A and B are shown apart, each in its own frame.
Chain A
């Protein structure tokens, strides 16, 4: 019994990481109606940027975020304004194709520079520290930090969207970009800021992922898949739904791994399919958070 409780708790904590992957994706879709196929590769890119920052400065991965987050914000802003804004319109296909192309470019550039070697960011003893909840049941401090960070991220995003001037501009632009211009809102700039914000979330997720697991330039697409599954299970555009989606995915994967280590990924996908069959619009379907 305690083993199953352990499996579920570890799954919930893993879900925090998936929710982080998914939050950026949810924002990009929610505000711009853009399906970002590059998302997973940008997570990996953020991890490599952190690796460079750590190599150059010698700081630990958490401190490296002081540089990685602004760098990824700038990358996001100019990616949107320089390329992706030109793909937006009534048709969903152009952004899909363009981000697919960018995904291939990012992967190959990373392979060229960093080779296919597996990498890992080292954060010291915090990686292995654990808290004993009861006898035989303990949780890792680092996975707990990731989960708390994911929840804090969603709370901050909700506050940003609901109580700030820029948050209202994000929502207004998401509702009706043309009318938003009549309010003095430059929708192209807003889209750039939204992508920048999404990549800040991606950067946090990427650095934490890189401390928790090995990564190499080719792991992006599987991260994209987890992010997609979490977003769609949660309901498009709902940030809290995204967290629940991530948790379902994490728990299902851990249950699969408990039964047979080879079934870990399969169980995640099965959970996704089950949710899709019974709730095609996700568990908390909303087009936006309000």
Chain B
């Protein structure tokens, strides 16, 4: 049995169906990328896993435990953390407070403030300023650090590179190997296909709420990906 096992997952926003029968499995320590155009359902899928969007599935298991019906606040304590799209730092909290609040669920593990500061030294210098006063790249570092502070077993990252300069994106992605070295599984939603293919063990391509293609990056051709990404 896989670490995260999802079978036939559907999700709705009111009457609008956003996801149609998604199947996905992620192994412990594996890095999986979800690619696809805007509105393909990638973010909704991540939000379904975190409990922010209600969903139903034939099988929705994480480490053998069902996630169906669980509240978002409880799912973090099980070891699933998310770096949300747009960072979503808390404006009234300083950088350090944003990081500390990430450990609210008090899940035991190796991630501490010191460890996050070692990974992103820029943040330590600016620990007392409001999180939202930082540059976009630094804010993304805080968002990643904040998620790691919950000591997750699986980290969901929604559009890490969105709106950032290439050099900053490199800084952000340079941190991924250290996270992987901890045995953390990663599910990365990314519009930057090359970035996703470079880092992932497996790739799922979303199209209009369905998975149109999946496989190992080396096994997929550019044409296959283009067809799955943009449609026929």
Interface, chain A (partner B; CB < 8 A): 165, 168-169, 171-172, 174-176, 178-187, 287-288, 290
Contact of B193 with A by CB under 8 A: no
Contact of B84 with A by CB under 8 A: yes
- When the two chains form their complex, are residues A169 and B90 in contact, meaning their CB atoms are under 8 A apart? no
Q: Which chain A residues border B146 with CB–CB below 8 Å?
A: 183
Q: What's the interface size class on B, roughly?
A: 20 to 34
- When the two chains form their complex, are residues B90 and A175 in contact, meaning their CB atoms are under 8 A apart? yes
- When the two chains form their complex, are residues B77 and A184 in contact, meaning their CB atoms are under 8 A apart? yes
- When the two chains form their complex, are residues A183 and B52 in contact, meaning their CB atoms are under 8 A apart? no
Chain A nearest CB from B109 CB (Å) reads 13
Q: A168-B97, A178-B52 are in contact. Are A183 and B102 (CB under 8 A)?
A: yes
Chain B nearest CB from A183 CB (Å) reads 5
Q: Which chain A residues border B97 with CB–CB below 8 Å?
A: 168, 171
Interface, chain B (partner A; CB < 8 A): 50-52, 71-74, 76-77, 81-82, 84, 88, 90-93, 97, 100-102, 104-105, 107, 130, 146-147, 150
- Name the contact of A171 in the complex, choosing from B76, B92, B105, B107 (C-beta under 8 A): B92
Q: Which chain B residues border A186 with CB–CB below 8 Å?
A: 71, 73-74
Q: Which chain A residues border B52 with CB–CB below 8 Å?
A: 178, 181-182
Q: Which chain A residues border B76 with CB–CB below 8 Å?
A: 181-184
- When the two chains form their complex, are residues B73 and A175 in contact, meaning their CB atoms are under 8 A apart? no
Closest to A183 in B: B104
- Name the contact of A168 in the complex, choosing from B71, B72, B100 (C-beta under 8 A): B100
- When the two chains form their complex, are residues A176 and B90 in contact, meaning their CB atoms are under 8 A apart? yes
Q: Which chain A residues border B93 with CB–CB below 8 Å?
A: 168, 171-172, 175, 290
- When the two chains form their complex, are residues A184 and B105 in contact, meaning their CB atoms are under 8 A apart? yes
Given contacts A179-B84, A186-B73, could you give 7 more A-B pairs where the C-beta distance is less than 8 Å? Answer: A168-B101, A171-B92, A180-B90, A182-B147, A183-B105, A184-B107, A287-B92
- When the two chains form their complex, are residues B91 and A175 in contact, meaning their CB atoms are under 8 A apart? yes
- When the two chains form their complex, are residues A182 and B82 in contact, meaning their CB atoms are under 8 A apart? yes
Q: Which chain A residues border B73 with CB–CB below 8 Å?
A: 181, 184-187
Chain B nearest CB from A120 CB (Å) reads 41
- When the two chains form their complex, are residues B101 and A172 in contact, meaning their CB atoms are under 8 A apart? yes
- Name the contact of B92 in the complex, choosing from A178, A182, A187, A288 (C-beta under 8 A): A288
In Å, the complex CA distance between A94 and B81 comes to 33
Q: A168-B97, A178-B52, A179-B84 are in contact. Are A185 and B92 (CB under 8 A)?
A: no
Chain B nearest CB from A196 CB (Å) reads 18
Q: Which chain B residues border A165 with CB–CB below 8 Å?
A: 104
In Å, the complex CA distance between A180 and B105 comes to 11
Q: Which chain B residues border A288 with CB–CB below 8 Å?
A: 92
- When the two chains form their complex, are residues A172 and B90 in contact, meaning their CB atoms are under 8 A apart? yes
- When the two chains form their complex, are residues B150 and A184 in contact, meaning their CB atoms are under 8 A apart? yes
